[in-house]
Amino acid sequence: MIADRSDNKNALTSGSLDPASSPRAAFLAGVRACGALIMGVIPFAMVCGAAAAAAGFDFHQSFGMSWLVFAGSSQIVATQLYSGGAPAWVVVATGVVVNLRFMMYSAALAPHLRDVTPLQRWLAAYLLTDQAFAVTVARAAEGRAGTTWFYFGIAGALWAFWQAATIAGIILGTLIPASWSLDFVVALTFISVMAPVMKDHSMAVAALCGGVASVLLDLPLKLNLIAAAFIGIASGMITRALWTPRFKSGE
């Protein structure tokens, strides 16, 4: 879930200088582009698998979650809330709030996937991730052809690596002693995702307020995270509204 990895863009596209106009070439270019991302995806997926196993889910539940949800941050949050005894509706609602960003990606990706069948559209939605989105849209912005098949290539390859690494995490996660504090890997994974998104002061304020609220709020039913998320979002929007110089149209 890296929102913007500009350092990868050149590396990704340099391997295929010929205009990847045929579906096959575009698809393969997408699969190759996945290579630059897997070093971030594999540890994240392993952490998700390990976290689910540690929370008491059996193999089928852990692996099933990775198939059905296929969104690491919400999987981890759901696992933590579940093992903390939160009611099921809070687990689901919090997970969906964590994934609200997909609506933003979905809207941004839609213009690039105009000529696909309904079935392909649903498949594209299922495979939508931060990384596949970021790389595909960056490539399309360069005016390169074959966006649809490039997207299926990179998104499908990411999905396959994600599932394989999740299995490794489920199996290996339970073997590691607690004294290693591997739970902290979760925090580090999220930090690595968050740092590149902090593009301006309103983003920083949103993060600061969300973080502080999440620590200080003591709400029943583990609703803290949802409340903190909305406080963070509101703070970011208010900061932006106050900071942006306005046109003095009324004067």
Partner 1 sequence: MIVALGVGTFATRLSFLALFARNEPPRRVRRALQYVPPAVLAAIIAPLLFTRPPVESLTPDAARTAAAIVAFLVAWVTRSTLLTIVVGMLVLWGARALVA
Binders of partner 1 among residues 21 to 40 (CB under 8 A) are 39-40
Would you give the distance in Å from CA 212 to the centre of its chain? 22
Distance CA 17, CA 196 (A): 28
Which residue, 25 or 147, is less far from partner 1 as judged by CB? 147
For partner 1, the binding residue among 27, 29, 53, 95 (CB under 8 A) is 95
48: which residues sit within 8 A by CB, 6+ positions away? 66, 72, 75, 76, 79, 166, 169
Q: Among 25-33, 115-123, 134-142, 166-174, which window interacts with partner 1 (CB under 8 A)?
A: 115-123
Residue 192 interacts with partner 1 (CB under 8 A)?
yes
- Interface with partner 1, residue 51, by CB under 8 A: no
Question: Is 163 among the residues that bind partner 1 (CB under 8 A)?
Answer: no
Which residue, 28 or 189, has its beta carbon nearer to partner 1?
189
Largest CA distance in the chain: 68
Q: Which residue among 25, 98, 132, 170 contacts partner 1 (CB under 8 A)?
A: 98
The stretch among 12-20, 146-154, 161-169, 200-208 that binds partner 1 (CB under 8 A) is 200-208
Tokens 């306005």 appear where? Answer: 246
The contact pattern for partner 1, residues 62-91, with x = CB under 8 A and - = no contact, is --xx-xxxxx-xx-xxx---x-----x--x
Contacts (Cβ under 8 Å, ≥6 apart) of 96: 74
Angstrom distance (rounded) from CA 157 to CA 28? 10
The tokens of 127 are what? Answer: 């495979």
Taking the complex as a whole, the smallest distance from the CB of residue 171 to partner 1 amounts, in Å, to: 19
- Count the residues of the shown chain that bind partner 1, applying the rule CB under 8 A: 93
For residue 105, state whether it binds partner 1 (rule: CB under 8 A). yes
Q: Is 3 in the site for partner 1 (CB under 8 A)?
A: yes
Nearest approach in angstroms of CB 47 to partner 1 is 9
Work out how close the CB of 127 gets to partner 1 at its nearest, in angstroms, rounded to a whole number.
8
Instruction: Determine if 5 is a binding residue for partner 1 (CB under 8 A).
Output: yes
Closest-CA residue to 196 (of 54, 40, 67, 65): 40
Write the DSSP string, 33-76.
HHTTTHHHHHHHHHHHHHHHHHTT--HHHHHHHHHHT--HHHHH
